[in-house]
Structure 1
């Protein structure tokens, strides 16, 4: 059984790469943010606005644990902050989990997130300079947790298809 878990900062391509990978290896794909939205019947943005980050992180942890306990192979993309809360980073080290950190540079993330930042509650009100500083600080703060993954793949200057091929080779 293979539980492939994709980790990385928002905008690193976890969902897009996860969907492509799952299709290529014929595994079901799950997105933790989507599982949360289904559970609470609200968007992540609405949940943050109405209930706050602490409530969101509690629901996120509960659904992450529930997903990991499933007795099936799958590809799962996590939210950017998931590994940093409630000892979720320890789950990434479990024997049956193949955790992969999709590592992107700050400048690459700023470029990606600037395109559709309204859907990103943590950066929606930041200009480019503020966003660069915010992401750099977050990556510094979250680096320890992201690097608990068993594998690290740089996504800078690579297409999602290239990253999927790299992951497939690693899985062999």
Structure 2
């Protein structure tokens, strides 16, 4: 089985992905970490030195490489990955996709905390009084792609273990296993 998590920043893609991978005993892969290892550069350095177009091409190349591999895994994508090229079609063709859906308010509450902002270059310099508007605009642009996932799980007011259990129950249907 290939299980791919999509969603906005701070929706829990990596955290929930790790929990599920451990429970079903298959490898967990974070696409950003995978790209950094392959390119020997951080995502921030890739953007600075080679540009976003180069990054997006590599992102699609490595996503396709992983998805067309025969191995089972749980994969967490960057928030923008499904929104470029034909990535969402590729994801849905070769895996089971799950959108971790968070309300604007829940997303803002999580991202407005200093410890969450500092590690995210996209929002690090945006003051909190402008952050909600930034998130709303971004979600508006990306939701069309996110909603093409085969499954959507609302994560508001739920713990990571509760969300993971909800996903595992839903995926227990043999018809969903790819």
Which bin holds the TM-score, normalised by the shorter protein? over 0.9
Partner of 2:171 in structure 1?
171
Is the 2:3–2:73 Cα contact (8 Å) retained in structure 1? Answer: yes
Whole-Å separation in 2 of the counterparts to 1:80 and 1:109: 13
Partner of 2:156 in structure 1?
156
How far does the alpha carbon of each residue in 1:42-95 deviate from its partner, in whole angstroms, 9 at most, with x for none? 21122222222222111111110001011011100000000000110111321x
Partner of 2:96 in structure 1?
98
Partner of 1:79 in structure 2?
78
How far does the alpha carbon of each residue in 1:86-121 deviate from its partner, in whole angstroms, 9 at most, with x for none? 110111321x41100000112221222233212212
Is the 1:104–1:155 Cα contact (8 Å) retained in structure 2? Answer: yes
Partner of 2:118 in structure 1?
118
Whole-Å separation in 1 of the counterparts to 2:86 and 2:145: 9
| Residues 1-172 of structure 1 aligned to structure 2 (within 5 Å) | 2-94=1-93, 96-114=94-112, 115-172=115-172
Whole-Å separation in 2 of the counterparts to 1:136 and 1:110: 9
- SS of residue paired to 2:152: strand
TM-score for both structures, normalised by structure 1: 0.94
* 1:10 Cα deviation from its structure 2 partner: 1.0
User: Which piece of structure 1 moves more, 82-91 or 46-55?
Assistant: 46-55
Two-structure CA RMSD over aligned residues (Å):
1.1
Q: Structure 2: which 5+ runs fail to align?
A: 173-178
TM-score for both structures, normalised by structure 2: 0.91
Is the 1:48–1:121 Cα contact (8 Å) retained in structure 2? Answer: no
User: Which piece of structure 1 moves more, 113-122 or 38-47?
Assistant: 113-122
